Amino acid sequence: MIEIRIPKEIKNYREKLFFGLTLRQCICTAIALLICVPLYIFGNRFLPQEAVSWAVMVIAVPLMLMGFFRYNDMAFEQFAVEIVRFMFSPQIRIYEYEPPFMGFRNAYIAEETAAELAELKTRRKGFFSRKRCSRFLQIQQK
């Protein structure tokens, strides 16, 4: 009987092309081979073997990481950018807390204050003078 593997999470599915490698992995491996093999073969004429070997590793490792490295569903480039951003951005965290409904509360208080002020202006002027209204506004604005 033929069995087909179905991944549990469809987002994690990667289509395999050659030898169980994805397209990205095939391309990065091909680029690394196209650069590093001629460098190793022809570089021995100009540099000592140890220096050529180090040059090949310095070139091949980032290329292979670009193809094969994945962390939290991020490719190597995205991960490297996040690491650099983390290392060179300021690490000061400012704690500010505002309850979730504070905006609604402030809007409600502003509406109530405006309604009370409008009511004060329509009443008699004898008891509620301008001086008291302005003092009331100053208290409400604090």
Tens-digit pLDDT profile for the chain (142 aa)? 677 777 676 666 667 777 778 888 888 899 999 999 999 999 988 889 999 999 999 999 999 988 888 888 888 889 999 999 999 988 787 787 878 888 888 899 999 998 888 887 776 555 555 555 666 666 656 5
Cα–Cα distance for residue pair 58/87, rounded to 1 Å: 22
Phi, psi of 18 (to 5 degrees): -115, 130
Residue 126 lies in a domain: yes
Residue 63 lies in a domain: yes
Residue 137 lies in a domain: yes
pLDDT reported for residue 93: 78
Cα–Cα distance for residue pair 12/15, rounded to 1 Å: 10
Lookup result for tokens 């009511």: 119
Lookup result for tokens 């994945």: 70
Residue 96 lies in a domain: no
Residue 92 lies in a domain: no
The domain containing residue 119 runs over which residues? 102-141
Cα–Cα distance for residue pair 28/66, rounded to 1 Å: 7
Cα–Cα distance for residue pair 141/135, rounded to 1 Å: 10
pLDDT reported for residue 141: 60
Query: Total structural domains in the chain?
Result: 2
Cα–Cα distance for residue pair 112/96, rounded to 1 Å: 27
Q: From residue 16, how far is each of 67, 69, 108 by CA, in Å? A: 13, 16, 59
Q: Give the relative orientation of helices 102-122 and 130-141 as an angle to the nearest 10 degrees.
A: 180
Question: CB–CB of 63/76 below 8 Å?
Answer: no
pLDDT reported for residue 79: 92
